[in-house]
Structures are given as C-alpha cells and as structure tokens.
Amino acid sequence: MKVKLINKENPITKMWCFKFTGYDSNLIESINSGKEVEVQKVPKPAWGYVEEVKAKPIKAKKQNKGKSPKGE
C-alpha cells in the first residue's frame, strides 16, 4: 500500500517499522518530506500521522462504435 504524511507540520518522530524487515530511517525521511511511499504495514499509532493513498483508476479511451474507419 502507499501512504503519505497527513500534515507536514506534524512529522513522524517515533521509530515505527513500516516494513517487515524492520526500521528504515530513509523511509521515515521520505514520508516526512511529503512523498507517497510504498510500505508493507502501518503501525496503529502511525495512522494519526499518515493516510493511505488510493490508486486512481485509469480511464479507458472511448471507441467509436458503429463507424468504420475512413477509406473502407
């Protein structure tokens, strides 16, 4: 899942683990800078600082139905 910081004025200061491999200070710095970051888990107290970023659906191009291409 992807998460981002809710409020840049309230950064994460705790040593929370967002990956199953353990604490990653680079990940915390990326989150605190306002970037959307891919994480494996979110500790319960961290939900006060971050929010999940939902994937935006990709819109499909409309096809012209019933019309044949020019030249045919």
Where in the sequence is the domain holding 24, given as residue range(s)? Answer: 2-53
Is pLDDT larger for residue 64 or for residue 49? 49
Full DSSP string of 3-54: EEES-TTS---S----STT---HHHHHHHHTT--EE-S---GGGGGTEEEEP
Query: Residue 68 falls within a domain, yes or no?
Result: no
Give this prediction's pTM.
0.72
| Residue 63: per-residue pLDDT | 65
> CB-based contacts of 12: which residues, under 8 Å, 6+ apart?
5, 28, 31, 32, 46, 49, 50
Q: What pLDDT digit, counting tens, does each position of 5-60 carry?
A: 999 999 999 999 999 999 999 999 999 999 999 999 999 999 999 999 987 777 76
* 21 or 66, higher pLDDT: 21
The reply to whether 66 falls in a domain is no
Domain count for the chain: 1
- Positive or negative torsion for Cα 14, 17, 22, 26: negative
pLDDT for residue 13: 94
